[in-house]
Each structure stands twice: as C-alpha cells, then as structure tokens.
Amino acid sequence: MKKLLYIAIILISFDGISQQIKLKDSLKPLEHTFPLYGQIVDFSDKQPLKAANLFNLNSVIGTVTNDEGNFEIPTAVNDTLYISYLGYQSIKLKITNDLLKGNELVIELHEKAEQLKEVVVKSHKLIGVLEIDAKNVPKDKYARIHINGIPQTYEVGVKQAKSYNSAVDALFRPIDFIYNKFGKKPQQLAKLKKLRDQDELRSLLESKFNRELMMEYLELDENELNELLNECNYSDYFIKQASDLQLIEAVLLCYENYKAIKKGSTIKEKQ
C-alpha cells in the first residue's frame, strides 16, 4: 500500500509539473512567427498617429507606433491584433497569410463620435500654514485601509446593491464566472499575469484607462467588470480612477483570494 501511495504521489507531481510546462510553453513565441510592419493613420486626414497601442492577444506582446505612426510586431497566422488610440475607435485585426507576405499595412482609425462631459473643478485655497492647510485639503474617503492581522486591504465606502431583472440574472456572479473560467482556461489567467508582469506592457497599461484589454481576456462587458470589482470590495471611485494596470492587479488579487477561500485556506497576500 505504501508503494502504491508513493507511486500515486509521484504521478500526481509529474502531472502538475507537465501542466505548468505546457502552460508556459503555450505563451512562448511560436517558431512560425513573422514581423508585421505597418503604419497607423487617421481616417480623415491620413496623418500618422504617434504612440498608438498594438497588442497581440494570442502571444500577449505589445508595441507602440513611432513618430511616423510606424510599427513592427511579431505575429503568426490566426493571431489577433488589438489596436487602440486615445479618442479613436479600437479595432481587432485577424492575421492571415496575405498580411504576412511582406507588404506594409496602412491601418486607418476612426475618431470616436462622443461628446465630452462637463467637468466641475473645485478649488481649495491654501494659505501656507501647514497646520491649517492640512485641515483644508480634501480627504480621499475611498483610500484603501489595512487591518492588522488581515492581509487583504479594503476601501472605505458602501457598495451599491445590485438590482436583478430576473432569477437567471441573479444566478450570475462575475467572481464565480472568473473563478470557473480561470480553472477551465488557465491560459487566460497566464496571459493576464503576463500583461501585469512584463515591463514593456506595464508601462503601456499604466497610461490606459479604457479597460478594453481586460474585458477582452475576461470576456466581460463594462458593467460585469464593475460588478466583479465591487464584489471584490473595490469602490466605484477606485474603479473609475485606476489605470488598466491597477485594475488587472486588483482582479488577479481578488481571484487569488477567492480561490483560497473556496479551497478553505488562508487568504493570500499580494505577491
């Protein structure tokens, strides 16, 4: 019996290691990748768009256009490029054999037809006396707080109660959806972690606030993403103000904590 038990433990260990190796290998650049060259321009005046973002959703590789709107990014057939620029409609481009024949692409982006919302800016007069100015500076009531003995942080504020339109709608919880999704599709989880961990991608995501890449990988719309973050005890203020990188970190921490709770173990600290 002991021998059988040892053999079973060894087989389980090998299986777990092989799955991790397969997952890592699946995110490595494929041997049959080719550099795709092109230029991003404005649809109306054909002027080049500097610093437009391009992401390969399959390999999780990103780049930005130079001063002339030109770019180079490694791709393979059937990859999908996600192209975005502030104030313009984002597009997805499926890579085909024809696109990889060496001809440079010219990709035109359309401006978003959206009206700017009015913003009210309040001023706070400071007199130069530290003791008095410290009292007059507005406090951020949504700052995250830490409770001794509990690794997870929390935000001050009350979460809004969700109103359900039907019994079926009430059964859907974004946190359960993400938990099951990452369990069945660990590659999606690995891609989200790669977005967070790669230096060049981190710098891109720190300046992005449209959540489009997150929604693409999580397969959630904007409302469902907000509900997920609310369930994870993040306030509406944080959700609106945080960069895409901060929200990715928030979702990953929420998932790890929820997974630990589901398995009956201690809540994990952020790595």
Q: Output the pTM of the full model.
A: 0.66
pLDDT digit string (tens) for the chain, length 271 residues: 655 555 555 555 545 544 444 444 445 454 578 899 999 999 999 999 999 999 999 999 999 999 999 999 999 999 999 999 988 999 999 999 888 886 678 999 999 876 555 555 555 565 666 666 556 655 554 455 554 555 555 555 544 555 545 545 545 788 999 999 998 889 889 999 998 998 888 888 888 888 888 898 998 999 999 999 988 888 888 888 888 999 999 999 999 989 888 887 555 544 4
Q: In what order do the strands lie in the sheet with 80-84?
A: 61-64, 53-56, 80-84, 91-94
| Distance (Å, whole) CA 29 – CA 59 | 6
